[in-house]
Structures are given as structure tokens and as C-alpha cells.
Amino acid sequence: MRHDVTLLVNTSDGFADCWDPFFALLQEHWPGCDWPIVLNTEHLDYAHEGLDIRCSRVAEGSTRRLTWSECLMRCLEGVRTPFVLYLQEDYFLEAAVRADALEELLQLMRHDQADVIRIMECGGAGPWHPSAHPWLWEVDARSPYRISLQAGLWRREVLQRQLRAHESPWQLEVFGTGRARRRRGERVMCANRDMF
């Protein structure tokens, strides 16, 4: 089946000890997942029985240690789908994934009603505003963390535009938020915290 979304698990080789439990929980809580899976590694390869995982190995051939952002930039260059579900290797699933809900959220993105949908919304990132969809709030342009690296659906090109080679993940959230404020028209949504 052809998909327009990739499950992107962002990691680094130093966190390889998280990969087995991450993917075991993914299999347990999302057994029907047939999305392409990319594990963003630096040099290491990895396989998990029953899952088709492609390792990006973004630092192969590099003569220096790549920054966090450079690794993600290189990985995204190899992703061919217009959307990604961004996760990190320590976002361990604790319950069944509602694939039907993810599909509904992707439909909103396919119809240009959102560019980012933050699935895991943390406190302190508001203000938020109601949206046309009861599950979602719109993240205000003045939010101190309009850009967040919690679990979320992204239009791949929007995530790529946010990245700067020299930035750490924490810098991306802070400085990317500033960039997002200046970029009119991009809709950042999040899970309605009154419901989830």
C-alpha cells in the first residue's frame, strides 16, 4: 500500500539501548502499523523482527560529528512522503494507538487545514484557541513553544524549513518558535487538552 506519511523515530547512536523497548511497545500497541518506518541513526543499523525499519545512517562518510539538526536535516532529505509522524526513541507507547484518529488528523493536513498537529500537548505551551475540529486547538502565535518536539504530525517541508544546522533541539523549540511567529499562514494545532 502506498502511504503519504512516514513514522520517523529521531534518535542518535548513543541511545541505541532504547530501540528494543521502543519497537517492542510499538508492535504491542500498534500492531497494524504499515507506515514506512525510518529510524534516524548516525552510523548504526538496526532491525526488529516483524517490522520493516530503514535506518538513515546520516553520518556515514562524514569526517566530523554532525549536530542534532544536521542529522535530522539529512534524514528528512531521504523521506519521500509529504507528512511525518515525529517521535523520539524514548517516547514509549503505553496504550493502544488509535490509528483511526491519526488518519482523521492526517485528512485535515491533506486538506490544508493544519501544517503541524501536536499529539502530545504539554502544559505551559498556550495560549490556545478553539478550532473547527473538536479534538484540536490552534496554538497561538504568541505561544512560547509554538514549535515543540513532542510527538506530532508534521508537514515534512514545514519541519525542514524550521531546522538550522547549528541548533540543538532546545534551541529549535525556542528560536523555531520565533521563526514560526514570523511565518504567516502556517497552522500549528494541538490536541484539545480538555479531551485528551
Measured between alpha carbons, how far is 129 from 109 in angstroms, rounded to an integer? 18
pLDDT per residue of the chain (196 residues) written in tens, 0 to 9: 468 999 999 999 999 999 999 999 999 999 999 999 999 999 999 999 999 999 999 999 888 999 999 999 999 999 999 999 999 999 999 999 999 999 999 999 999 999 999 998 776 677 899 999 999 999 998 898 899 999 999 999 999 999 999 999 999 999 999 998 887 778 999 999 888 8
Residues 96-107 as b/e (b if ≥16 CB within 10 A, e otherwise) read ebeeeebeebbe
Distance, in Å, from the CA atom of 153 to the CA atom of 150, rounded to the nearest integer, reads 10
Residue with cell 490536541: 191
Opening angle at CA 113, ends 110 and 116, nearest 5? 85
The reply to whether the predicted model has a pTM over 0.85 is yes
